[in-house]
Amino acid sequence: MRSKVVYTQSLVLPSTTEAVGQVCRVLLDQVKERGFAEDDIFGIHLSLEEALTNAVRHGNQSDPAKTVTIEVLITPEKFDISIADQGFGFNPDSLPDPRLGENLYKTEGRGVLLIRAYMDVIEYNDRGNCVHLVKYKGKQSK
Amino acid sequence: MMDQMNPNLSIEYSDGVAVAVPTDTKILDEEQIQSLEKTFMPLIEQTNGIRLLIDFSNVQFLTSSVLGLLIRINRKVLQSEGRLGLCSIDRKILEIFKITRLDKVFEIYIDRESAFKGL
């Protein structure tokens, strides 16, 4: 019975937008099956797209030879995922705030801000090439 | 008048305003964004002082890459001394604009009617 309640998966993806789209669809189906509210699903979807796109585009520089590794756990209470790329990593604390001054008019740099707004946990490994995200069902976003 | 220039976007003209309606419910991949950009940019270049309204009534999901596209469109519109408005944005998507404070950058209207009055 437990296997129907808890979904756990390890995946290795190529650095392509097609793979990002495919994995998002699979994981969101699992989230929906576990009764998450529409607003939670929206936030999880947005965070997944942003984090996976960052891994593919910024981490792996869209190099098809490089992969993105995902460890995911979905239960009726939470969505928990780690996304690792093969890039050099980055310091998330060094990112400029896209809401301030001229940054407001830049065409990039809002993904991490959005993930922080919609996820309950966002943490990086020391190298900065692996992000761990958690969303608890029904918990108000920040 | 209606001009079907792009399967991802319909363009209508009403009261001197070009109303662009993205047809996809989700805008997230690079191909979609490039396709929209290829339609928007010539449209703005061709009409000096364009009054452009993007109607989001079909759109239920978008990513930060779309915000980047809207900023590029806004730049182009301002260069041509035009005005850009956005309308009929879903509540959840409007929240993205608020989080990023882009609700302070763009003219956002509840619906087409109020946009026509404001633009």
What are the domain boundaries of chain B? 2-118
Exposed e or buried b per residue across B70-109, where buried means at least 16 C-beta atoms within 10 angstroms of its C-beta: bbebbebbeebebbbbbbbbbebbebbbebbbbbebbebb
Helix (H, G, I), strand (E, B) or coil at A88: coil
What average pLDDT does the structure give for chain A? 94
Q: Let me know: does A55 contact A68? Beta carbons within 8 Å.
A: yes
Cross-chain residue pair B105–A104, CB shorter than 8 Å: yes
Give Cα A33 to chain centroid, integer Å: 19
Question: Taking residues A29-42, what's their average pLDDT?
Answer: 96
Over residues B9-67, the pLDDT tens digits come to: 999 999 899 999 999 999 988 889 999 999 999 999 999 999 999 999 999 999 999 99
pLDDT (0 to 100) of residue A104: 96
| B104 near A CB under 8 A | yes
pLDDT (0 to 100) of residue B2: 45
Tell me the C-alpha distance between A140 and A56, whole Å. Answer: 29
Q: Let me know: does A69 contact A10? Beta carbons within 8 Å.
A: yes
What are the domain boundaries of chain A? 2-136
pLDDT (0 to 100) of residue A7: 97
Over residues B66-110, the pLDDT tens digits come to: 999 999 999 999 999 999 999 999 999 999 999 999 999 999 999
| B34 near A CB under 8 A | no
The domain made up of A2-136 has a fold known as Heat Shock Protein 90 (3.30.565)
Name chain B contacts of A99, Cβ cutoff 8 Å.
100-101
| B31 near A CB under 8 A | yes
pLDDT band of A141, cuts 50, 70, 90: low
pLDDT (0 to 100) of residue B29: 85
Question: Taking residues A104-132, what's their average pLDDT?
Answer: 97
| B57 near A CB under 8 A | no
Name chain A contacts of B63, Cβ cutoff 8 Å.
46, 49-50, 53, 111
Cross-chain residue pair B100–A99, CB shorter than 8 Å: yes
The whole-model pTM stands at 0.93
Q: What is the ipTM of this complex?
A: 0.93
Nearest CA in chain A to B98: A99
DSSP labels for B46-86?
A: HSTT-EEEEE-TT--EE-HHHHHHHHHHHHHHHHTT-EEEE
**Which CATH architecture does the domain made up of B2-118 adopt?**
2-Layer Sandwich (3.30)
